[in-house]
Each structure stands twice: as structure tokens, then as C-alpha cells.
């Protein structure tokens, strides 16, 4: 079973626009991570936010975490064609990551 659920399932935006996706999870976490996957290849780690953090930035990425609502959001600003990928949130519990179903982002030129 999956711990996290992303919303929306798919997102199509114009290059230069911002993309926002959300993740909800069910149980207490140590941290929450976001990963990117380009068309059926390996996952690339984007950012990790600890349970005692509320917001974190990395380049064009901004992640928020609300542990009271058990939710997180990932914002990609000024999107580029290379951002076209699937994005997954993952929660960390006892040496394993539980992934959500992912949000597929398509950036149109």
C-alpha cells in the first residue's frame, strides 16, 4: 500500500509557468522526500524536508510541509521543458521509503 498520495495525477503547463503538486500521507514521518523520474528511468532525489521543518528551497524548487495536515507541496518555478517528468513524494519509515502514485508534469514549449 502507498503511504503518500499526490495530487493532481497529471499537470500540463506552459514553459515559464509555475507547477504545484501536493502530497498527502497517513502516518507520522521522520522526513518527506521528493523525487523525479524521467520516462521510466531511475529516480532522482530532489529535496528532503525533515518533520520539524516547514519550508525548504533548492534552486527553483520550494517544498512545504504541514505535519498537522499530513501534507506537503512541491512548487517548481519558471518551468522548463526539461522539467517534464513524473514527481513522487516519499515518506521515510524504518529503512524504507513509501512512495505516492506520482504527478506527471508536462511542460509545453
- 3-class DSSP state of 32: strand
13 scored as a contact of other proteins (CB under 8 A): no
Interface map 53-82 toward other proteins (x if CB under 8 A): ------------------------------
Among 14, 40, 59, 109, binds other proteins (CB under 8 A): 40
Residue whose C-alpha cell is 519558471: 78
92 scored as a contact of other proteins (CB under 8 A): yes
| Shortest distance (Å) from residue 101 CB to other proteins | 5
Among 44, 55, 81, 108, binds other proteins (CB under 8 A): 44
| Shortest distance (Å) from residue 44 CB to other proteins | 7
Query: Do residues 8 and 101 make contact, with C-beta atoms less than 8 angstroms apart?
Result: no
Question: Site residues (CB under 8 A) for other proteins?
Answer: 1-2, 30-31, 33, 35, 40-45, 48, 50, 88, 92, 94-102
Amino acid at each position: 500500500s502507498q503511504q503518500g498520495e499526490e495530487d493532481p495525477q497529471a499537470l500540463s503547463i506552459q514553459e515559464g509557468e509555475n507547477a504545484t503538486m501536493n502530497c498527502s500521507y497517513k502516518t507520522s514521518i521522520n522526513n518527506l522526500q521528493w523525487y523525479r523520474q524521467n520516462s521510466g528511468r531511475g529516480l532522482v532525489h530532489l529535496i528532503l524536508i525533515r518533520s520539524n521543518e516547514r519550508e525548504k528551497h533548492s534552486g527553483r524548487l520550494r517544498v512545504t510541509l504541514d505535519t498537522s495536515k499530513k501534507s506537503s507541496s512541491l512548487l517548481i518555478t519558471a518551468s522548463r521543458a526539461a522539467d517534464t517528468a513524473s514527481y513522487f513524494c516519499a515518506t521515510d519509515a524504518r529503512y524504507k521509503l513509501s512512495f505516492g502514485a506520482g504527478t506527471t508534469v508536462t511542460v509545453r514549449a
